[in-house]
Chain A
Amino acid sequence: MISRFGFLASGEGASPVVPKPAEIIVGFIAFGILFFLLRTRAVPKFEKAYKDRTEAIQGGLERAEIAQREASQALTMYQAQLADARGEAAKLRDEARVEGAAILEQMRTSAQEEASRITTAARASIDAERQQAYNALITQVGAIATDLASKIVGEALDDQARQSRVVERFLEDMEKAK
């Protein structure tokens, strides 16, 4: 009896473990085709993607490392610069303080000098004025005293000659008294 579905040469009792040569060949060829296609078209591309990815990751890591090194270098540099700047600022401040003190001292000295100069000048002018006043007083005191004396002594002293004699004697007395 032929198989229910009329497969050639396979009777009803054909064992499923008996292979059909055609199917072996088909399986062999079909797999061969797939193997060839995947080997030439798919696998190299997958491997390329792998390689690219590995490189990308490694490259990224290297770049990150370089960047980190640069960053730390920059940090050290900035810190050094900052320290420099701080030192400089402190120096400037010290200098300013010293300078300020100097200026203050100078101003004080000059003020004192000015003060003493003014004092001296004032004293000199006072002396001069006193001398002037003294001189004026001497003249006036002479006249007043003469006046007074003439008043006290009366007309007796009208005579010019007598008068100057009396005055001179008076002045001499004053000089002596001095």
Chain B
Amino acid sequence: MHTLLREASDGFVPPSSADFDFAPIFGNSILFTKPVLMVFLSVIIAATFFIASSRKAAIVPSKLQYAGESVYTFIRNELGRDVIGPEFMRFVPFLFSLFVFILVNNVFGVIPLLQFPTMSHIGFPIGVTIFSYVCYHYVAIKKHGLGKYLKDICFMPGIPKPVYLILTPVELLTYLVTRPLTLSMRLFANMFAGHLLLLVFVLGGEYLLMSGILLKFLSIFSFGLAIGLSFFELGIQCLQAYIFTLLTALYIAGALADEH
């Protein structure tokens, strides 16, 4: 689609947010766009892989089981046990699913042919953030009761009274708005920016390749950078999945803690 468009235009058209819009693959149904299908594909891939790798649950793991177990163990111990503490086991399935879901969708960004990080559509991070948001509030309310929870948020103990004038709105905003907002925005923005960056170098390289003989050579650098940045992006994609899960674990840990 790009190529067609670019050939039609005269100069170089830099990639924009419009490049993140996909037409429905067939019909007018919004359910059959590339990102939506990729999200479901990620569910199939992740579920298949982890169910297959855990199916035997052998004491001496096969290579497949070892691979699945490594990811699971990492989340279970580093994010569950070490962050949440003694009650962590309840949250391990959630944290594990969270990490896996975001990771697969992010890594789609550098998988040939797919090459689109689904989380760069803000709707998907928000969909996932709802789970985290509901989860940590629910945990806190169940543990402390709604009244005490709200009181803890609004009136942090051990603070001089006048400070509450500033602190209370800030805390309320943090718990109710900022946290979910930053969770989804951080993930979305990282994926969006990363993909845009790759687009710049790929489309730029393509444009150079179609231009004069001298510029054709320069396109090598542009493509080279795109490839290098793809690896860089892979790192960011993993990191963002980790950060999202880590923050959720921290919020849950905070909700379980006796005092904020």
Contact = CB atoms under 8 A, between A and B. Distances in A.
Interface of A: 3-8, 10, 12, 14-35, 37-39, 41-43, 45-46, 48-49, 52-53, 56
A34 B30 CA distance: 21
* Interchain residue pairs A-B with the least CB separation, the first 4: A27-B127, A23-B123, A45-B54, A27-B124
Nearest to A43: B93
B250 to A, nearest CB: 19
B154 interface: no
Given A34-B47, A52-B59, A23 B127 contact: yes
Nearest to A55: B59
Contacts, number: 162
A17 B54 contact: no
Interface of B: 1, 5, 17-18, 20-23, 28, 30-31, 33, 35-36, 39-40, 42-43, 46-47, 50-51, 53-59, 61, 65, 68-69, 72-73, 76, 92-94, 96-98, 100-101, 120-128, 130-131, 185, 188, 192
A46 B69 contact: yes
B101 A10 contact: no
B72 A42 contact: yes
Contacts of B122: 16-19, 23
20 contacts: A5-B23, A6-B23, A12-B18, A16-B122, A16-B188, A20-B123, A22-B123, A23-B123, A23-B126, A27-B127, A28-B128, A30-B40, A31-B128, A31-B131, A35-B97, A37-B47, A37-B51, A38-B96, A42-B72, A46-B68
A23 B23 contact: no
Contacts of B21: 3-5, 7, 10, 14
Nearest to B46: A34
Contacts of B40: 26, 30
A49 B31 contact: no
B43 A30 contact: yes
Given A34-B47, A45-B57, A24 B127 contact: yes
B127 A46 contact: no
Contacts of B101: 30-31, 34-35
Contacts of A45: 54-57
A34 B58 CA distance: 23
Nearest to A28: B127
A155 B225 CA distance: 177
A4 B130 CA distance: 31
Given A24-B127, A27-B127, A28-B130, A49 B54 contact: yes
A38 B31 contact: no
Given A20-B123, A41-B51, A4 B30 contact: no
A147 to B, nearest CB: 131
Contacts of B120: 16
B93 A39 contact: yes
A5 B125 CA distance: 23
Interface centre among A15, A24, A29 (most CB of B within 10 A): A24
